[in-house]
Chains A and B, each alone.
Chain A
Amino acid sequence: MPTLKINNKEYEVNLKGHETLLEVLRDHLGLTGTKTACEESECGTCTVHINGKAVLSCIKLAADCVDDEILTIEGLAHADQLHPLQQAFLDKGAVQCGFCIPGMIMSAKELLEKNPTPTREEIDYALDGNLCRCAGYLKIIEAVEQAGREMKAAK
């Protein structure tokens, strides 16, 4: 049986072959932190990391991820230590309904790992694929800036 490595754990999954990674995460493994709002690569809600890169799990076949390191929102915090992005989203009041937040954080994480001090334009660009209908984005952008500063200081 194929194995997927998700958040540093191995999961054997019974794949027919056509399942998306999103389906496998949510429906087979109960990792429902990853959301979906379109299933056609328009909203960013389903964003996860594969080998450190932000990827839309709704258009990624699970069978293609067998040798990869997959990271989902559930794998971000360690023990009760939140990732700086998670903490910053809380501090800045960037969370409203929360539905877009897992995807938003995963997209922001890719950006900040490459560049912890992005300009406003760079943040706008990196998050442009992630829809949020609640928050008007400003507090999300502020949260990303704060997290970047913390990630840089921690390096």
Chain B
Amino acid sequence: MRTPINKDYIDPVGKSVPRIDGLGMVTGQTKYAFDVSFPNMLIGKMIRSPHPHAKILNIDTSAAEKLPGVRAIITAKDTHNIKFGSNEYFFPHTIDQMALEAEKVRYVGDELGAVAAIDEETAEQALRLIKVDYEILPAVVDMEEAIKPDAPQIHESLNNIAVILPVNFGNPDRALKEADYVREDVFFAPAAHQAALEPHVCVGQWEIFSNKVTLWASSQAPFKCREALAKTLKMDLNDVRVIKMSVGGGFGGKLEMLPMDFAACLLSKKAGGLPVKICYSREEEFLASRRKHGMKYTIKSGVKKDGTLVAITGEVLADGGAYCSYGPTVLAAAIMRIFMVYKIQHFRITGYRIYTNTPISGAMRGFGGVQAGFAIESHMDMLAEGIGMDPVEFRLKNITSPNMVTVNKMYLTTNGLKDCIEQATNAAQWTKKRGQQKNVCRGIGIGIAADVMGSKMYKSHESAGSIVKVEEDGSVYLFTGAADTGQGSNTALSQIAAHELGVSYSRIKCKSGDTEITPFDTGSFASRVTFISGNATILAARDAKNQVLDVVAQDLDLNSEELDIKAENVIRRADNSVVMTFDKALELCYAFKYGRQIIGRGSYNPKTTPIDFRTGEGNVSGSYGFEAQIAEVEVDKETGEVKLLKLWDAHDIGKAINPQSVEGQIEGSLAMGIGYTFLENLHFDKKGRPANGNFAHYRLPRTMGLPEMKSILIETNDPEGPFGAKGMGEASLLPTSAAIANAIYDAIGVRIKELPITPDKIIKALKEQQQTTKI
């Protein structure tokens, strides 16, 4: 039987075709790692430290081992004591976490071992029977305390500073002296949590005799997870297989191997090869996964009277928690994104990533840019006000342009920032509203941003591979290493494959993120997948197409270069006349005479230059995306309540492969940005434990109170992008908090410099405002 063809899905790029995996999701059929289960599967639990900082003197597991139903217990002595981390290539000294800690614990929740038992109850009971002797050490929870010389030392590094990043260009001190107006502001953006609905979960199974291990994982980066597992388990890379199941959200939290992944594998080995499942509770999610860095952002800038931004200086303190994780690159991204946004020649911001005895900070959607965006974009409004300039005009004067090289040698090719600002401000009726609605406590504010979309930051190469296999029955398999975590990359890549191959999207079946059967791909982060994996997919589809055309040309005695496949037909390029249908061409390929299997392959590595993190210099990305956002608010001065009326978001995404998915990504980002602006604030008690580590206390945006949102897609058609596309998915989150804060200022004239923006902060600021006006 031949694969049925849906004609509506011919030439799918640019169409809002339904998601390739949607049917499973609306019917409950889709299997997440959360749903994986095997006969005789054991349940694993992590042994965690109750102390924020302590030496491990002794671990006694003997009583737990005797408990009926316990099948395996592991501690550091079962491991090779190999450290892992995420910035090995650029920051080797930040590889600081042990899969199971042997000597010291550094936060409440730190892992010292794990147990596997026949069920959850038994595993929990076993945990209670494990006796650990500690020598308790003084702990430090606050980052500004941690950098004091007499603070407890969490790692070897001086003053608990894991990384210092001095980014320095031009001569900012001299430039500041020449400025007409200079101001300095300090902002604080707190820790937050990814809070993906599916928790971290995995199943590990060891093949005892062949010494291979398989991990079914909820991962954004299965190949990176494989690398860390192989390293810490001391195995060959290809003896470790990571199978990414459907992932119930990641947002940066699932980019890394966690000790639980390691433990599931090793427990399985010790239990004679029985599969072991470890599933985090929501409380463990908040405690022992990854979180967003809290950041204190000090920024001082100078401008000329005409609005020219002449210099920026400042300092960023980032609360890193107990280990480094992605911290170094998060910090870098929190400093360096500004070069994509503003033409600036004189610049010096130094970043410090600081250890504290708190949960580990890592990647979260926006990657440092959300905290930075709040600081920088608030500060820009204040600069504009200082010289009496409209904030939009101020930005238009200072933004980057197409085909320019920034001071740190980023090469911006297409750049729709100006267009984004103009379209967003037009849609929001900026000129009519700005400063005009104070009488009703309404205001409007802007924030802008830019982001890498196809970057190389972690490895010597950051390539992606794809395979497009056309079967005898007309179905087309796309194998990609890219990890769909819900953003819809399987759909977008399938659209790209179908479009390039010249067939309907309904033919495509997509297999993704299995380290044993799909090509290598570094994973879903840095909004890279559409651009990098998309380009690999185009190449693979083109290769498959050429193979089909070779057979057709051979059979008809034509030159294959004269042929193409468009809209389900083999055509002559010269006059678009139809030679035969795609199905007929496949019949030929798979006929007795030819017997040619069609297997196309593609590999893509973005054209970038290596970034030097000591200087901040390098063209880190193959494309750059841009973004302008406007918020309109109404503030109740009595209660301090802010009502967010509407958000407009104009986003240069190069080309929307699937406009509906693009809008979905924007809306999701905006909701997350709204949450971070008004609600989310992961804070810690004296022992460094999350004080609000559950859904009852860590408040997330819900349906009620969400504003209207309007996405405006700006298509700049990137010459390097697949069908002109760049990446997306993170940039819309970067300016949201500042756009809202700026709107609040427009409405009531008070400036909130610390997130989240809560009614009490508004009331307090209003009181201060009254006092100063009285004086």
Flag if A73 contacts B486 (CB, 8 Å). no
Contact B486 A137 (CB under 8 A): no
Contact for A93 among B19, B199, B671, B706, CB less than 8 A: B19
**Segment of B81-89, B309-317, B497-505, B656-664 engaged in the interface with chain A:** B656-664
Q: Which of A95, A105, A125, A139 contacts B704 (CB 8 A)?
A: A125
Interface of A is mostly: loop
Q: Does B22 contact A (CB under 8 A)?
A: yes
Interface of B is mostly: loop
Mask, B699-725, CB within 8 Å of A = 1, is: 011111010010000000000000000
Cβ–Cβ < 8 Å partners of B247 in chain A: 97
Q: Are B27 and A93 in contact (CB under 8 A)?
A: no
Contact check, A133 vs B672: say whether CB atoms are below 8 A apart.
yes
Query: What A residues does B695 contact at CB under 8 A?
Result: 37-38, 40, 42-43, 131
In the complex, what residue of chain A is closest to B484 when comparing beta carbons? Answer: A97
Whether B1 is near chain A, meaning CB under 8 Å from some CB there, is: no
Q: Tell me whether A37 and B27 are in contact (CB under 8 A).
A: no
Q: Give Cα A91–Cα B18 distance, bound, in whole angstroms.
A: 7
A93:B195 contact, CB within 8 angstroms: no
Given contact pairs A35-B34, A96-B486, A97-B249, A132 touches B282 in the complex (Cβ within 8 A): no
A34 within 8 A of B: yes
Query: Would A135 and B35 count as touching, CB distance under 8 A?
Result: no
Closest to A87 in B: B26
Mark contacts of B5-40 with chain A using CB atoms, 8 A cut-off: 1 yes-contact digit, 0 otherwise. Answer: 000000000001011011111111111101101000
Contact B486 A40 (CB under 8 A): no
Neighbouring B residues of A136 by C-beta, 8 Å = 664, 666-672, 706, 709
Contact B198 A73 (CB under 8 A): no
Q: Say yes or no: is B629 at the interface (Cβ < 8 Å to chain A).
A: no
For the complex formed, measure the closest distance between the CB of A47 and the CB atoms of chain B, giving whole angstroms.
12
Q: Are B667 and A135 in contact (CB under 8 A)?
A: yes
A residues near B249, Cβ cutoff 8 Å: 96-97, 99, 133-134
* Chain A residues within an 8 Å CB radius of B670: 136
Q: Considering the chains assembled together, what is the distance between the CA atoms of A105 and B25 in angstroms? A: 11
Q: How many whole Å from A26's CB to the nearest CB in chain B?
A: 8
Q: Is B325 an interface residue (CB 8 A)?
A: no
Cβ-based interface call for A77 (8 A): yes
Cβ-defined contact, A32 with B22, below 8 A: no
Q: Tell me whether A141 is interfacial, beta carbon within 8 Å.
A: yes
Cα-based distance from A33 to B671 in the complex (angstroms): 26
A4 is an interface residue with CB less than 8 A from chain B: no
Interchain CA distance A77-B671 in the complex, whole Å: 30
Residues of the B chain whose Cβ atoms lie less than 8 Å from the Cβ of A86: 26-27
Q: Inside 8 A of A127's CB, which chain B residues have their CB?
A: 702-703
Chain A, residues 11-31, CB within 8 Å of chain B (1/0): the string is: 000000000000000110011
Kindly state the separation between the CA atoms of A134 and B194 in the bound complex, as whole angstroms.
Answer: 10
Given the complex of chains A and B, what is the CA–CA distance between A90 and B24 in angstroms? 10
Per-residue interface assignment for chain A, residues 137 to 149, with 1 indicating a CB less than 8 Å from any chain B CB and 0 otherwise = 1111100000000
Q: Please report the total number of A residues contacting B with Cβ < 8 Å.
A: 57
**Residues on the A chain within 8 Å of B661, using CB:** 93
| Interface assignment of A116: CB less than 8 Å from any CB of chain B | no
Q: With A38-B695, A136-B671 as given contacts, are A96 and B664 in contact (CB-CB < 8 Å)?
A: yes
> CB distance A133 to B19 under 8 Å?
no
Query: In A51-82, which residues have CB < 8 Å from any B CB?
Result: 72-74, 76-77, 82
The A88-141 residues at the B interface (CB cut-off 8 A) are 89-102, 105, 123-125, 127-141
CA of A127 to CA of B704 in the docked complex: distance in angstroms? 8
User: Pick the contact of B197 from A32, A97, A137, A138 — CB < 8 Å?
Assistant: A97
Contact B703 A123 (CB under 8 A): yes
Known: A131-B197, A138-B709. A93 touches B663 (CB 8 A): yes
Cβ-based interface call for A150 (8 A): no
Complex: how many Å from CA A94 to CA B248?
14
- Residue in A73, A91, A99, A125 whose CB lies within 8 Å of B248: A99
Cα(A154)–Cα(B544), bound, Å: 46
Assess whether B546 is interfacial by the CB under 8 Å rule.
Answer: no
Check if B696 sits within 8 Å of A134, measured CB to CB. Answer: no
Question: B197 to A45, Cβ gap below 8 A?
Answer: yes
A28 to B487, CA, bound (A): 31
Instruction: Note all chain B residues with C-beta closer than 8 A to A89.
Output: 22, 26
Could you give, for residues 285-304 of chain B, a 1 whenever the CB lies within 8 Å of some chain A CB and a 0 otherwise? 00000000000000000000
Contacts A97-B249, A133-B672, A136-B668: A38 and B694 contacting too (C-beta < 8 A)?
yes
Query: Does B463 interact with chain A (Cβ within 8 Å)?
Result: no
Q: Give the shortest distance, in Å, between B645 (CB) and chain A (any CB).
A: 14
Give min CB distance, B19 to chain A, whole Å: 6
Q: In the complex, what's the smallest C-beta–C-beta distance from B548 to chain A, in angstroms?
A: 31
Query: What's the Cα separation between A127 and B194 when bound, in Å?
Result: 21
Q: Is B281 an interface residue when CB atoms closer than 8 A count as contact?
A: yes
Chain B residue at minimum C-beta to C-beta distance from A121 = B704
Q: Which 7 A-B pairs have the closest CB atoms?
A: A33-B28, A97-B486, A98-B25, A136-B667, A99-B248, A42-B695, A73-B28
Q: What are 5 A-B contacts defined by CB distance under 8 Å?
A: A40-B282, A42-B694, A72-B28, A90-B18, A96-B488
Q: For the A-B complex with A38-B282, A97-B249 known, give 6 more contacts whose Cβ atoms are closer than 8 Å.
A: A72-B28, A90-B19, A93-B661, A96-B668, A129-B702, A141-B703
- Could you list which residues of chain B lie within 8 angstroms of chain A, going by C-beta atoms? 16, 18-19, 21-32, 34-35, 37, 194-199, 246-249, 251, 281-282, 485-488, 660-661, 663-664, 666-672, 694-696, 700-704, 706, 709
